[in-house]
């Protein structure tokens, strides 16, 4: 695997490659990320990964400085996945001057759910993803369903800017007890780690109540939130939304079998976890 630090080197390395499949990451790679690399290999060749902890998507009080950085271990893992190029720029390379031009997702998609609790987050994500796409020039790029809203926003951005890149959605990879894999899981204490799968269990309960035909979504969301609070969590939201646009379902949507998803974000101690589940009904 070639480790490339500059945009010029990256472009030279990928010159003439028309079928590149790209996986952007912030590093601290786990099995979930590696599954994205494998999926990328089914959608293009060569596979290019990036590692860049993107300051633009962190609020000042968030964990940018303590975000786990495990570069050598990450390289070893990517090498084993036959990644062709790892693009790992530093901040001066990707943001040589303040990044004043930004991509701002529409408020009805970017300022709800995660965007409500992390203002500016999706603008930071879109800006870096667009820039990385311009550097890599991928034919396909893989994003995990674990970050459901991010996937949807990146997909819309790609469509609206007519970027010549197919966005591939990868399934969420879970630990045996149901906890969705995330780089932030490593912040959990052993007691919190034992408690953490509750988030997935609560979403499954939401799914089974909605799938069972209970139409009172507000009560289902409130019960799920209360179950987390009772177990010591601080939930930001537990929501049932339409898969198509993440808007709350209307009464007609519920009877018309509109595809739905349930999404949650909650803090356990100092760690904020997110998860989601597409509702099968
Ligand atoms: O999902 C992530 O790891 C990040 O948001 C991404 C897409 C790499 C952009 O920094």
Provide φ and ψ at 137, rounded to 5°.
65, 50
Question: What H or E segment, with its residue span, contains residue 230?
Answer: helix 217-230
When the pLDDT of each residue in the chain is averaged and rounded to a whole number, the result is 97
pLDDT tens digits, one per residue of 85-111: 999 999 999 999 999 999 999 999 999
Mean pLDDT, residues 43-50: 98
Locate the ligand 1 atom nearest the alpha carbon of residue 25 and give its number: 8
CB 246 within 8 A of CB 114: no
CB of 125 shorter than 6 A to ligand 1: yes
Q: What is the pLDDT of residue 114?
A: 98
Taking the CB of residue 119, how many other CB atoms lie within 10 A of it?
12
147 CA from centroid of ligand 1 (Å): 9
- pLDDT surpasses 90 at 214: no
Q: Which residue has the tokens 């530093």?
A: 90
How would residue 215 be classed by pLDDT, with cut points 50, 70 and 90?
A: confident
How would residue 281 be classed by pLDDT, with cut points 50, 70 and 90?
A: confident
How would residue 27 be classed by pLDDT, with cut points 50, 70 and 90?
A: very high
Provide φ and ψ at 220, rounded to 5°.
-60, -45
57 CA from centroid of ligand 1 (Å): 9
- pLDDT surpasses 80 at 237: yes
pTM for the full predicted model: 0.97
- pLDDT surpasses 80 at 241: yes
pLDDT tens digits, one per residue of 114-168: 999 999 999 999 999 999 999 999 999 999 999 999 999 999 999 999 999 999 9
Q: Whose CA is nearest to atom 5 of ligand 1?
A: 125
Q: What is the pLDDT of residue 232?
A: 98
CB of 157 shorter than 6 A to ligand 1: no
Q: What is the pLDDT of residue 204?
A: 98
128 CA from centroid of ligand 1 (Å): 8
Mean pLDDT, residues 187-214: 96
């Amino acid at each position: 695997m070639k480790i490339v630090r500059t945009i010029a080197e990256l472009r030279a390395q990928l010159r003439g490659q028309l079928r590149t499949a790209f996986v952007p990451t912030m590093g601290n790679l786990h099995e979930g990320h590696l599954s994205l690399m494998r999926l990328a290999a089914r959608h293009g060749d060569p596979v290019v990964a990036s590692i860049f902890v993107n300051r633009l998507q962190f609020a000042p009080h968030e964990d940018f400085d303590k975000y786990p950085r495990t570069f050598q271990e990450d390289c070893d893992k990517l090498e084993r996945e036959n990644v062709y190029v790892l693009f790992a720029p530093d901040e001066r390379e990707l943001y040589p001057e303040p990044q004043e031009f930004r991509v701002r997702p529409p408020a009805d998609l970017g300022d709800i759910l995660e965007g409500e609790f992390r203002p500016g987050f999706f603008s930071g994500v879109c800006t870096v993803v667009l820039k990385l796409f311009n550097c890599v020039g991928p034919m396909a790029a893989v994003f995990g369903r674990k970050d459901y809203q991010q996937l949807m926003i990146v997909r819309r951005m790609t469509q609206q800017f007519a970027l010549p890149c197919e966005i591939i959605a990868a399934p969420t990879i879970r630990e045996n007890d149901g906890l969705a894999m995330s780089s932030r899981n490593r912040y959990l204490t052993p007691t919190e780690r034992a408690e953490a799968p509750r988030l997935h269990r609560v979403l499954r309960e939401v799914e089974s109540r909605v799938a069972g035909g209970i139409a009172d979504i507000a009560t289902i969301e409130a019960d799920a939130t209360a179950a987390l609070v009772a177990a010591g969590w601080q939930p930001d939201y537990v929501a049932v939304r339409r898969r198509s646009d993440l808007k709350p379902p209307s009464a007609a949507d519920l009877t018309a079998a509109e595809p739905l998803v349930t999404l949650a974000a909650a803090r356990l101690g100092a760690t904020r976890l997110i998860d989601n589940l597409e509702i099968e009904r």
